[in-house]
Amino acid sequence: MRIGITCYPTYGGSGIVATELGLELAARGHDIHFITYANPIRLGSYQERIHYHEVEVSTYPLFQYPPYCLALASRMAEVAEEYSLDLLHVHYAIPHSISAMLAQQMLRDKHKLPIITTLHGTDITLVGTDPSYFPITKFAIEQSDGITTISQYLKERTVEVFGIGKPIQVIRNFVNCRVYQPAVKKQHGEPRLLHVSNFRPVKRVLDCIRILEEVRRTTPAHLLLAGDGPERSPAERLARELGIGNHVTFLGKQDHVERLFPQADVLLMPSELESFGLAALEAMACGVVPVATNCGGVPELITHGVDGFLEAVGDIDAQAARVVEILTDEGAHGRMSAAARQSAESRFDTLRVIPEYEAMYREVLAQ
């Protein structure tokens, strides 16, 4: 198939999933055309069957807000016609689905161009419920030819918030278990806690610092924080104020997290809300046990006490106690680490999940 993919290319889990999906589809013989304003995160250098079409947004003194949505629609229509695309798969409803619909309309007399929208989370839970975006988000979902969500939780939220009657297919986040693997040999030193995110308030990065402080009362540990965003400076300040600055390393944005995860012992994901929690899945594939919060779609990924732990949002003591449990009980740590890898392999491997997208494409093309 010839597939156009649009996503937010530089920021957030939805862009990562869209890029990894494109790479996996290309490896399976499909032609993939990324249509985005920047080179997608994790795309890397040249790959066979991968094409990248940049969307340029011209400014003009009249435009207080340059119309990205329209520039994207024009580019989508151009690329779809030029490369005879079979469909457009957009990630994150706003504005990508709307631009795709405009492209579809532009080509309607000469080219059938179905649209699949994948909803990732904040496009529904935050942006979509904002009164100024609610009607257009509902329209975008209702007019898509196929809709997928990354968890059952997000499907239920979408139906509840927008009253969608059309079928919504749940296709969960995935991980390539040949790329994400447990370490053959771990580096020496203090046990390592790891947090990976875009440091937005919803991720509760400051909780990671507080958890470390609590853990260190009884157990040596070092915290690695990968990523960047608005909560980085407050987190740096808090670590200094609590006197644990020497035990925290801010790594900034990382290109190859598959090399980082295996070096950790525990993954911290203290989020306020996660529709799925991709970072926890990638950690689990590397045999790293997640200590996460019981919110959104996370229980669809982590089975409490088996392949990770789920505690209440903001409960620092409970999350710290789970970290200590993992770091001090070697037997339990080994069992949970193996179970985490096993869950990633048996339920979320690309070999299992990518065919679900392919089946969805075939279904939509047959309509």
Positions that interact with ligand GMT (CB under 6 A): 12-14, 17, 92, 120-122, 150, 173, 198, 202, 273-278
Quick one: 34 or 92, whose CB is closer to ligand GMT? 92
Q: With respect to ligand GMT, which residue has the nearer C-beta, 114 or 277?
A: 277
Integer Cα distance of 134 and 306 in angstroms: 39
**In the complex, least distance from residue 77 CB atom to ligand GMT, rounded to whole angstroms:** 25
- Residue number, 22 or 277, with CB nearest to ligand GMT: 277
Instruction: Find all residues with CB under 8 Å of 299, minimum gap 6, and list them.
Output: 310
Cα 167 to chain centroid, rounded: 23
Nearest to 290 by CA among 315, 270, 313: 270
Query: Closest distance between ligand GMT and the C-beta of residue 219, in Å?
Result: 29
3-class DSSP state of 328: helix
Reading the block at residue 47, the tokens are 């790959």
Structure tokens at 270: 């203290």
- CA dist list (Å): 92 to 41, 63, 223: 15, 25, 31
Q: Would you state the structure tokens that stand for residue 205, as one six-digit string?
A: 């990065």
| Nearer to ligand GMT (CB atom), residue 128 or residue 191 | 128
We find the least distance from the C-beta atom of residue 120 to ligand GMT, in angstroms, to be 4
Q: Please, which residue, 137 or 173, has the CB nearer to ligand GMT?
A: 173
Q: Quote the CA–CA distance of 320 and 311 in Å, as a whole number.
A: 10
Min dist. Cβ of residue 125 to ligand GMT (A): 6
How far apart are CB 1 and ligand GMT at their closest, in Å? Answer: 22
Q: Which letter does DSSP use for residue 300 in this model?
A: G
Chain residue at closest Cβ approach to ligand GMT? 121
223, 226, 229, 231 alpha-carbon torsion, rounded to 10°: -10
**Is 7 or 79 the residue whose CB approaches ligand GMT more closely?**
7
The minimum distance between CB 277 and ligand GMT, in angstroms, equals 5
CB of 281 to ligand GMT, least distance (A): 8
Contact 253, 246 (CB under 8 A): no
Residue carrying the six token digits 């939780």: 153
Q: Which is nearer to ligand GMT, 103 or 301 (CB)?
A: 301
